[in-house]
Amino acid sequence: MEFSGVKRRKPWLIGDQRKASYPHSLQFYLQPPSENISLIEFENLAIDRLKLLKSVENLGVSYVKGTELYQSKLEAEIRRLKFSYRESLEDEYEPRRKDHISHFILRLAYCQSEDLRRWFIQQEMDLLRFRFSILPKDKIQSFLQDSHLHFEAISEEEKNLREQEIIASSTSLGGPKLELEYVYKIPFADALDLFRGRKVYLENGFAYVPLKDIVAIILNEFRAKLSKALALTARSLPAVQSDERLQPLLNHLSHSYIGQDYSIQGNAGKISLDQIDSLSTKSFPPCMRQLHKALRENHHLRHGGRMQYGLFLKGIGLTLEQALQFWKQEFIKGKMDPDKFDKGYSYNIRHSFGKEGKRTDYTPFSCLKIILTNPPSQGDYHGCPFRHSDPELLKQKLQSYKITPGGISQILDLVKGTHYQVACQKYFEMTHNSRDPDLDNRRLLTACPVLGMYALPTMPTVGTIFKDIVLREQCVVETAWMVYMTGRRITENDDMNRGEKETESQSLESSVNERKRPGGQWMSVIMTFPVNILLFLYILLAQCRG
């Protein structure tokens, strides 16, 4: 593909030419696109594809894959985003073209690490599985040939000859069912997974696979081809990134939040201090709920907790005056002198509201930052309970929140699989009796199975996941939760420590391990070990002189 800053005319194809370009609603993406597109279209196609894959992922977590409800929800999402999905629809050229080009664009963005590749392959496989499940039977053979899969359906005579053996190998098949089922003759080496599970009949080096089982073989072939293609793309990526027009987009696409923008602080002053206690048990995400509880019990939070919770409270609508009053009242209960608070803590609060220092109006921490950076130590209460809590302790905590035993099991299973944000979404659904994943399926777009220690396909900001779910009794948005999972890209920095009288390990680690990079984004300094050493020695020398 070639790119330009202006919009180019799309190639004009008619009739059979359009059908020949994309004969099916699904494909193996064997040939890259060769037409010219504008940079604007390049970005729009990439974002739409990412939205589609995030929908595939969220629905796969919320529903059982392959069920009627899952199929209908996914079809509605594909239709909404205007991608191809059915063979019988008229004039499918534009949706299929969009599907083709957008897939290759995301290859460029998601080939950059093993974790990103793994996530991308899984979602593309789920999408292919859905499309194949609704592919008409008379189109299957043509699709296999176009995908270079040399699988052929056997004749009725051959099927009747081996009927008993095929039925015996696939217990779900019966006599009447087999009569209506296509059976494919496939080389043994292509059906190893079915053979391993003793689910296929073998004869003379060939496997006789019913149509319902062939999807597993097709997906294995697709995964192998896509995995190899991504590895080759990663090898060629430096040549693509040399284009200054594409480099910023590709670098940030896999880390971009694609939902609704909640970065504008439009809800300041909409909650009162009296509401915080009730909202903490009713609407706060678990990470903020435990911080609020610790603050009320101990009348103090360490630096990491103050930073995480303070920006969250700002995000849900606390004004600067309210924030100063809230923190001062609580710290004074812990026998702190008011003058000490004014001198040692108020500056940091004003700084977070953009009234001191660089005058930057900071947004709440993202889920990514909470989960992956500055893990809590003994005596700390910040961090993500799903990521940093012991499973048994997390179970007790969920029980105290009156989560049902079945719900606790589901959440712990998600945590075990490192699906921390999905576990948090499940917690919200259970505490708010929300059973419809469409609650925020178009806005959430955050649950990511590669979360654990990986780079997220989205970068949501703490506190906005359910920002537009209005708390109807008090006309207060479930802002507490919304300020939790979505938002905009990270804009926190490390110089909010100025004015702090406590020198804590978390503050030192934050100042050493974070710095600004071009484009207004912040990243952990991982590969600059010598720089970290110099900074550490400088800070140590300054302390010695003091």
The pLDDT tens digits for 154-204 are: 888 888 888 888 888 876 665 556 666 788 889 888 888 888 888 888 988
What's the pLDDT at 335?
84
Which of 50, 58, 59 is CA-nearest to residue 107?
A: 50
pLDDT-based confidence at residue 455 (cuts at 50, 70, 90): very low
Question: Quick one: tokens of 62?
Answer: 């919320």
pLDDT-based confidence at residue 536 (cuts at 50, 70, 90): low
CB-based contact 71:37 (threshold 8 Å): no
**Mean pLDDT of all residues in 377-385:** 92
Which of 488, 447, 485 is CA-nearest to residue 467?
A: 485
What's the pLDDT at 476?
35
What's the pLDDT at 374?
84
**Which of 88-92, 251-255, 505-509 is predicted with the least confidence, judged by mean pLDDT?**
505-509
Question: Quick one: tokens of 82?
Answer: 């205007």
In total, the chain counts a number of residues equal to: 546
Q: DSSP string of 1-20?
A: -EEESSPPPPP---HHHHHH
Highest mean pLDDT among 66-75, 359-368, 439-448: 66-75
> Higher confidence at residue 48 or residue 366?
48
Give the chain's mean pLDDT: 76
Predicted TM-score (pTM) above 0.85: no
Task: Give me the percent of the chain exceeding a pLDDT of 90.
Answer: 36
**Which of 68-77, 81-90, 198-207 is predicted with the least confidence, judged by mean pLDDT?**
81-90
pLDDT at position 542 over 60:
no
What's the pLDDT at 327?
95
pLDDT-based confidence at residue 464 (cuts at 50, 70, 90): very low
What's the pLDDT at 480?
40
Write the single-letter amino acid at 4: S
Question: How many angstroms separate the CA atoms of 319 and 283, rounded?
Answer: 19
Cα 34 → chain centroid: 30
Q: Alpha helix (H) ranges present in 63-113?
A: 68-81, 93-110
Question: How many angstroms separate the CA atoms of 439 and 437, rounded?
Answer: 5
What's the pLDDT at 255?
63
Which of 542, 525, 286 is CA-nearest to residue 424?
A: 286
Q: DSSP string of 350-376?
A: HHHTTSSTT---PPPPBHHHHHHSS--
What's the pLDDT at 508?
34
What's the pLDDT at 56?
92
pLDDT at position 534 over 90:
no
CB-based contact 357:375 (threshold 8 Å): no
What's the pLDDT at 383?
93
Give the CA distances from residue 382 to residues 39, 485, 489, 523, in Å, rounded to whole numbers and listed in that order: 41, 16, 20, 20
Question: How many angstroms separate the CA atoms of 24 and 323, rounded?
Answer: 58
pLDDT in tens, 14-35: 555 666 678 888 999 999 998 8
Question: How many angstroms separate the CA atoms of 457 and 445, rounded?
Answer: 9
